[in-house]
Amino acid sequence: MTEPSDAAVFRLGYVPGVTPGKWVRLWSERRPEVPLELVAATTDEAVDLVRAGAVDAAVVRLPIDRTGLHAIPLYTETTVALVPKDHVLTAVEEATVADLADEIVLRPQDDTLPWPADRPGRAAAYTPETTAEAVELVGAGVGLLVVPQSLARLHHRRDLTYRPLTDAPGSGVALTWPDAENSELMEEFIGIVRGRSATSSRTPRREATPARAPARRSVARRRPGRGGTHRR
């Protein structure tokens, strides 16, 4: 396991919608001497940054090409349909994929949902480049958007709402990092995202300065008191 340098910095890539705040807080408590820098990116960009060594690790949405990478699943998000507030879908609390069959479903180029190419819904004539652009089109009434729930919350607007799709595949979120010997800092971050306590045996600990051994106390021989018995 490699040791961090005195000027070490841990760089973490993350995709929109992911909230790494809790991990950053725990990191600052456990390794206050090592800054943690956040780098926002799409999943494809984050994977490229990990492979190039520009970031130490990244929190991404699955699926990804795992060649040369470690990846551990963290959680799965609910998939939702983002629609205008006056859309017919808002008449129900939950929807199904079949409910989208006659709808125009926007598919931005940065879409990473694990859906097949022939997923339900009619394709729009125009393909937005980003999720943010697609959200603008939803607001304009062009179509609806299928996204992980965290992205629907991230792009919250007063004129839009969303409904969970009960039978749609979930959106997996994973931590990925290079398939090589882990540094001490990498092991520390893995422990944080997996919920290990600071005292866990699998969480690396920095060497502490050895404490001085207590001074040895001399033990005086006990002398018999005046009332003791003496041999002659």
Do residue 88 and residue 56 come from a single domain?
no
More confident residue, 219 or 56: 56
Do residue 92 and residue 124 come from a single domain?
yes
Which pLDDT tens digit goes with each residue over 127-165?
A: 999 999 999 999 999 999 999 999 999 999 999 999 999
Do residue 98 and residue 125 come from a single domain?
yes
* Residue 68 pLDDT > 70: yes
Domain contains 101 = yes
Please, which residues bridge with residue 147 across strands?
80
Do residue 22 and residue 68 come from a single domain?
yes
3-class secondary-structure state, position 157? coil
Question: In percent, how much of the chain has pLDDT > 90?
Answer: 72
Domain contains 212 = no
Measure the CA–CA gap between 219 and 73, rounded to whole angstroms.
Answer: 61
Domain contains 98 = yes
Domain contains 139 = yes
Measure the CA–CA gap between 142 and 127, rounded to whole angstroms.
Answer: 11
Do residue 66 and residue 83 come from a single domain?
no
Contacts of 73 (CB under 8 A, 6+ apart): 62, 172, 173, 174
Task: Please give the helix or strand (H or E) that residue 150 lies within, else none.
Answer: helix 149-154
Residue 100 token pair? 């989208």
* Residue 201 pLDDT > 90: no
Counted domains in the chain:
2
Domain contains 92 = yes
User: Range of 94's domain?
Assistant: 79-169
Residue that finishes a domain, picked among 169, 184, 212: 169
Domain contains 215 = no
